[in-house]
Structure 1
Amino acid sequence: MAPSKKKHAARKACVIPGGFTVLSLQFSLDSAARHFLYVKEHRVRAEKSSYRPLDRTLFVLNIPPYCSESVVKDLFSQFGSVVSVELRDHPGSSSESGPKLSKVFRPADKERFKVGYIVFESSSSLAAAKSHPHDDPLVVSTEERPVKTGVQKWIQQYTKSFIHPDKLQLTVDSFMQDYDKRKEEEAERQRQEVEKQQEDEEGWVKVTRGHKGAKARPHSEAANKRTLQREMRKKRRKELMNFYTWQHRNTQKEHIAELRKKFEEDKQRIALMRAQRKFKPY
């Protein structure tokens, strides 16, 4: 007997306003409660990143806290091979541009509903996920891949929090090697900037002509520091000159006062000599 039209229509995908497809999620086979995910193709043309190709990336909303990256990868692997899964607290650009830190060097993630970016190996897998019927739930915990929750999950997280010293030492050594390499590259870049912007004693900067089409370099931290030091030197020189000017002016005033005092003494001496002089012609 052919299936009825009503049953056939129920097997279609449920698309809501905004272009999102609704996927139902069931924690286990014997669970009556269902959770709903909202998925759509990731199309952000402003983000030119190879980590999220436009034709193979699925954007997922409302991912529950008990679904880790490995669980999400297992759930969507039924539609095709999954290359990578990225879970974030909020939608945003890819975080692959900066150095990727180990879990040892970053705080633990908070348990909250998240958004996800799932990259498939083929674009057909993306279409299969978008056309999946909403009445066919995705099962999170099965006998082949059980997912622990509650106290069992806390015990598992507590056990995994202890890291073997040898493994921790390797992680620290690798992190420090990358850190030293970045510091050396930064020091080399600053040295090249200093060589290109050599200043003479009067503060003139030698500007060299770059290649054709090169854009002007923004003010670096080293250039701003040199400018501040130059201003401080000018200020100290000006203060020193003002001090010398005041000292010279004060010396001149003292010298003039001493000359006036000596002139008055000479006048009194001459007047006394004139008074004591007597005219005796014979």
Structure 2
Amino acid sequence: MAPSEKSRGGEAVVIPGGFAVLSLQFSADSGSQHKLYVKEHRVRVETRTHRPLDRTLFLLNVPPYCSQSTLSHIFSRFGAVVSVELSDRPGSAPAPEVKLSPLFKPAGKQGFKVGYVVFRRAKSIRLAKSHPHNVPLLVSTEQRLVTTGLQKWAQQYRQAIVSPEELQQSVDAFMLQYDQRKEEQAKEQEKEAEEQKEDEEGWVKVTRASKGTKARPHSEAANQKAIQKETRKKKRKELMNFYTWQHRNTQKEHIADLRKKFEEDKQRISLLRAQRKFRPY
């Protein structure tokens, strides 16, 4: 059960910006404290349903040794915690999800973060903001130990070691999914190629394009042909007639070729006329 405000000693401290100051102490034996700044999460453009504006507490200056489970345990003294979210910077945009196996996920960014704590009741927000700044919140207790420093590094190192059997199973599962995707793509391409083939009368089925665009066969093969055609066209134009004198010389050579062909055609025509002339003797 969450303690009431009157049962606590001291007063809450509120700094400019509406943030209340909470003191964090790593353990009962620690001599230093860390300041955590909290306030009620109220953003007009917030559209995410899992951050209700009346039950979400926004945290600043969250230390690296505080994980989601640790924050959930710390703030559970003010009321039941529904969820805890940590991020590198504040914002309503969702963090990009890395679709990788847990064995290949990169290590998270280390440093101070911002957090969002969602309570089950709105009363817990008021209790957390009114907590006295001179009464520190313990991070690591006998009931719930939090490792840090060399112990944390050794624990992460041991967890990073994967058995060959588990690694082989993960690789096999990934390759199986990859082969299935490739087979589906090949079947779709074959189906589109069959649809784009000409029938007996020479007609080709095309899809309806958007207004103002020219309809064309909608298939991967047709797209590849169009891309190859554009690439060849660009290569032909590449570095041709780059300078003015090159363009002028090209025009002169073209005119000379036309004149040469004209003279050859004149000689050919005169020869044909001479061969058709009537000669009685």
Tell me how many residue pairs correspond in the alignment: 235
Compared CA separation, residues 249 and 120, structure 1 to 2 (3 A): farther
Compared CA separation, residues 143 and 9, structure 1 to 2 (3 A): closer
Which shows bigger deviation, 12-21 or 46-55? Answer: 46-55
Partner of 1:108: 107
Which shows bigger deviation, 175-184 or 86-95? Answer: 175-184
The answer to whether the 8 A contact 2:103-2:162 is kept is: no
Task: Flag the structure with higher helix content.
Answer: 1
Amino acid across the alignment from 2:86: L
- 2:278 aligned with 1:258: no
Amino acid across the alignment from 1:83: V
**1:25-76, Cα deviation, whole Å (9 max, x unpaired):** 1111121211100011111221211222212211111111111222111111
Q: 1-side partners of 2:173 and 2:97: how far apart?
A: 16
Q: 1-side partners of 2:234 and 2:23: how far apart?
A: 71
Q: Tell me the TM-score normalized by structure 2.
A: 0.62
Shift of 1:183: 9.1
Q: 1-side partners of 2:179 and 2:57: how far apart?
A: 37
Larger-gyration structure (1/2): 1
Q: 2-side partners of 1:121 and 1:177: how far apart?
A: 42
What is the SS of the residue equivalent to 1:78?
A: helix
Partner of 1:137: 136
Q: Tell me the TM-score normalized by structure 1.
A: 0.62
Partner of 2:216: none
Q: 2-side partners of 1:79 and 1:127: how far apart?
A: 9
Shift of 1:95: 2.6
**1:239-270, Cα deviation, whole Å (9 max, x unpaired):** xxxxxxxx999766422133457889xxxxxx
Q: 2-side partners of 1:8 and 1:124: how far apart?
A: 16
**1:116-175, Cα deviation, whole Å (9 max, x unpaired):** 111222222222212211111100111111122221111111111123456556666777
Compared CA separation, residues 235 and 56, structure 1 to 2 (3 A): same
The answer to whether the 8 A contact 1:26-1:140 is kept is: yes
Shift of 1:106: 2.8
Partner of 1:54: 53
Partner of 2:81: 82
Compared CA separation, residues 231 and 117, structure 1 to 2 (3 A): same
Compared CA separation, residues 144 and 54, structure 1 to 2 (3 A): same
Compared CA separation, residues 230 and 57, structure 1 to 2 (3 A): farther
What is the SS of the residue equivalent to 2:51?
A: coil
Q: Identity over aligned residues, as a percent? A: 53
The answer to whether the 8 A contact 1:51-1:94 is kept is: no
Partner of 2:27: 28
Shift of 1:105: 3.6
Q: Note the residue ranges of structure 2 that are not aligned, 5 or more in a row.
A: 1-5, 211-219, 236-256, 275-281
Q: Note the residue ranges of structure 1 that are not aligned, 5 or more in a row.
A: 1-6, 210-221, 237-246, 265-282
